[in-house]
Amino acid sequence: MTSFNQHTTGSEVAKALTSRSTGKTFIITGPSSNSIGGATAIALAHSHPKTIFLAGRSESKILPVIKDIKAVDSAVDVIFVPLDLASQASVRKAAGEILASGKADVVHGLINNAGIMCVMPYQETVEGIELQFGINHIGHFLLTNLLLPRIVAAGPHARIVNVASTGYMLGDLDMENYNFDNGKTYHPWLAYASSKTANILFNTYLASHLQDKGVEAFALQPGMLKRQIVPPTELYVHTRDENSLASFTEAFKIITKRWEGKTPPSGDLKGDEKTLETSASTLVFAALDPGLDGKSGLFLRNCEPFPVEGYATNAERAEKLWKLSEKLVEEKFDI
């Protein structure tokens, strides 16, 4: 589809696709320094957008990203918005600030990037939802719907980008037991897989219901940071103890058992090894590339379509998740 690949940087993608970004408005969640979200925000600056909203928990961790964006293009209007996806009140407040800012009458791209992985021990959001499902999916579900009228208003090919993972293949989402028996049967990798399956199902629902409104949705695998990346990003904080259930050794055990006798649907893991800069490429690609016009709903890896198992893209399950999500945020959204 493109000349972009595993080794393309986010800034290279952005520079190639400037015409789809110049003068436009974007929102990125989880854009802290030394993270894929931060690298994506900096890369996006190379395509000269008008405004970038950076929504995250810690302003101090986002200020270095703002500085780097300004170094790339001082004309970009960069706005920090406090956002804690583990609190629905915080999500509503953040959305309210964006909508009331006067700088988001139209939103051309929402990049739902923020996420956590393999939390130990079991934890819940403010509302009592298992933390990975709550942050990775429910918080973004609420934020996306609150901002959706402004995304629709942006016109043809406005984009919603949902950062998922091929890690969804470690397990399915049990919508009847998303809290793992209130933590009694909790496994950090299975909870992560549940949340990433939810990301893809959410993307599936958005794609099918927004196609007539000019909005396109894409889910993706950003890549896995090379082990030698220093300092390591916070995403991997729970995976570093090799004796923990959250270790990558444990993940490979689950994969081997779940896909025994079959090739895991993750692709060659070496194809996922990236730096922060190359990890940002597929996010920027999903937000901007004109080659994706009219192809809403795709899952992307290394800046090209990648197949996904049917349980993560099933339309009936996507609708069931939508209804569950509405119940958990206590609000209905008809799109």
Q: What is the CATH number of the domain that holds 204?
A: 3.40.50.720
Domain membership flag for residue 4:
no
Catalytic residues: 192
**pLDDT per position in the chain (335 positions), as tens?**
468 999 999 999 999 999 999 999 999 999 999 999 999 999 999 999 999 999 999 999 999 999 999 999 999 999 999 999 999 999 999 999 999 999 999 999 999 999 999 999 999 999 999 999 999 999 999 999 999 999 999 989 999 999 999 999 999 999 999 999 999 999 999 999 999 999 999 999 999 999 999 999 999 999 998 654 444 556 666 676 777 898 999 999 999 999 998 999 998 889 999 999 999 999 999 999 999 999 999 999 999 999 999 999 999 999 999 999 999 999 999 99
- Cis bond before residue 156 (omega within 30° of 0): no
Alpha helices in 57-216 (DSSP H): 59-72, 88-100, 131-133, 140-152, 188-210
Structural domain of 292: 10-329
- Tell whether 124 is covered by a domain: yes
Number of domains forming the structure of the chain: 1
Q: What DSSP line would sit under 12-71, residue for residue?
A: HHHHHTGGGTTT-EEEEES--TTSHHHHHHHHHHTT--SEEEEEES-HHHHHHHHHHHHH
Q: Is residue 181 part of a domain?
A: yes
| Residue 335 is assigned to a structural domain of this protein | no
pTM (global) more than 0.75: yes
Domain membership flag for residue 142: yes
- Closest listed residue to residue 276, CA positions, set 32, 27, 3: 32
Any domain includes 1 = no
**Looking at the domain assignment, is residue 5 inside a domain?**
no
